[in-house]
Every structure is written in C-alpha cells, then in structure tokens.
Amino acid sequence: MAGGGELKLLGTWASPWACRVRIALHLKALSYDYVEEDLDNKSDLLLTSNPVHKKVPVLIHNGKPISESLVIVQYIDEAFASNGRSLLPSDPRERAIARFWAAYIDDKITASWKQAFSAKTEEERLEGTKQLLVAVETLEGGLRVCSKGKPFFGGDSVGYLDVVLGGLLPWLQGTEALCGVEILDAARTPLLSAWAERFGALDAAGVLPDVGGLVEFAKVRRAQQAAAAAAAAAKN
C-alpha cells in the first residue's frame, strides 16, 4: 500500500457518509478492514475513536482515527497522494470551489433530503421535497462550472465532488421511490441526470448499497420511528 499503514473503516452499510469513504478508498485502490457498526449499540472503538460526534464513518489509519466524511476523503487524497489520480484539483481556486460545493451538498441537499425523507406530515414532506428540488437545480449550475463540459465534477475523471455526491446517489434514487418525485430529472437537471448514469456505471459505484434494499430499510426505520412517537404520545 503506497502511503503505507493499516486502514480500518467503521461504518454502516446504509450510511451515505461511509459510502463516500468507501468510494475514495476504492478509487485510491486501498485495502482496508471494514467494521459494520450497530448504531443502536455503538462499539467502544467507535465511542473512543469519535468521542465528539459518536458517528460513523471513522477511518482509523495506523491506530489514529479521523472523523467526518468530507475530512476523511480529503485525508485519503493527501495521505495516499501517490495512489492514482488526485481527487481534489491542484489549482487552489478550483480546490476552493470544490470545497464550496461540497459544503453546499452537505448544507442544502442533505438538509432538504432529510426533511423530505423523515417528514411526519404530508405538508412537511412536500416542503422538504420542494427545497430539495431547488437545491438540486442550483447544484446543476455547480456541475456546469466544475466539469467545464466534461463528464464529471472532477473533469475527465472522478474527483472530490463526484465522491461527495456519489455517496448520496442511492439515497437520492431511493427518495424518488419513497417520495414519488423525480429528483435527478433529465428535463430539469440534464447534467446531473447524465452524471448519475455515468457515476452509477463506474467500478467504484460497486461499493454502493442497492437502492431497493435502502428503500426497504427506510420503510422499516420510518415505521419504527412512527411507533416510538405514538408510544411517547400515549405516555403523555
């Protein structure tokens, strides 16, 4: 392994954030031990490795943990710079632009997706979906700027933003099924729609979970949350 050392990833199969890390590790051709966490019963290793947030993913490199998916993907790019192509652009301004859109994806796309997805009422679901569609249309502009007419955010090959959005892709596709709305729509966001097709065809996309499995998982989680809310309401 160029860059050297032992890598261990703490994740869950359905976590879009852990998927980002798995995509980056795949692109850099790095082998690693994968530990599937039970988030209802977090391991001591997770709690001691990420004491601030207690969340996955955590990448442990030579016994030293790194948390937060965006930080981890950048770390992998820097620590294993000689493994394949760089994910972040080499030009400082282009690197800053890539980081800007990564923050946009986490702030706007993720926030509205979560709202659409975990809405308790039809009204909340519609509002979340509306905001998600607006955010995705804005991101279409980000793809236009970053790709400069090439296939990926990273240009001719997959880069940092492709990894950042790619981890979310099965969830966005699953949300289409769950909320009955086209999110990456060929008419409204043609660049993102074509990007999703291209990204889904990459070898690296093999690390992503199956959309049907995610939809089933999401339905079970929703039912559990609804039951817990009903039980809490009955107590009061």
* Beta carbon nearer to ligand GSH, 36 or 156: 36
Contact call for residue 69 and ligand GSH (CB under 6 A): yes
Burial of 155 (0-12, 13-18, 19+ CB in 10 A): middle
How do 33-36 and 7-11 pair as beta strands? parallel
Residues 6+ apart with CB under 8 A from 32: 7, 8, 9, 25, 59
User: Whose Cβ is closer to ligand GSH: residue 69's or residue 175's?
Assistant: 69
Residues 87-106 binding ligand GSH (CB under 6 A) are none
Considering only 26-34, 55-63, 76-84, 148-156, which stretch makes contact with ligand GSH by CB under 6 A?
55-63
Stretch of residues binding ligand GSH (CB under 6 A), selected from 12-20, 90-98, 125-133, 157-165: 12-20
Shortest separation between residue 57's beta carbon and ligand GSH, angstroms: 6
86 binds ligand GSH (CB under 6 A): no
Binding-site member from 7, 9, 57, 218 for ligand GSH (CB under 6 A): 57
Handedness of CA 23, 215, 191, 113 (dihedral sign): negative
Residue 85 sits in the site that holds ligand GSH (CB under 6 A): no
Amino acid at 182: E
Tell me the window of 65-73, 76-84, 131-139, 174-182 that interacts with ligand GSH (CB under 6 A): 65-73
Place of tokens 């236009």: 144
Planar angle of CA 129, 133, 139, nearest 5 degrees: 140
Tell me if 113 contacts ligand GSH by CB under 6 A: no
Q: Residues 56, 15: contact at Cβ < 8 Å?
A: yes
**Under the criterion CB under 6 A, does residue 56 sit at the interface with ligand GSH?**
yes
Cβ atoms 168, 16 nearer than 8 A: yes
Distinct helix (H) and strand (E) counts, the chain: 10, 4
Residue 205's nearest CA partner among 159, 163, 156 is: 163
Of the residues 17, 153, 160, 199, which one makes contact with ligand GSH according to CB under 6 A: 17
Q: Of the listed pieces 53-61, 86-94, 210-218, 224-232, which binds ligand GSH according to CB under 6 A?
A: 53-61
Residues 129-188 that bind ligand GSH (CB under 6 A): none
Q: Which residues contribute to the site for ligand GSH (CB under 6 A)?
A: 12, 15, 17, 39, 54-57, 68-70
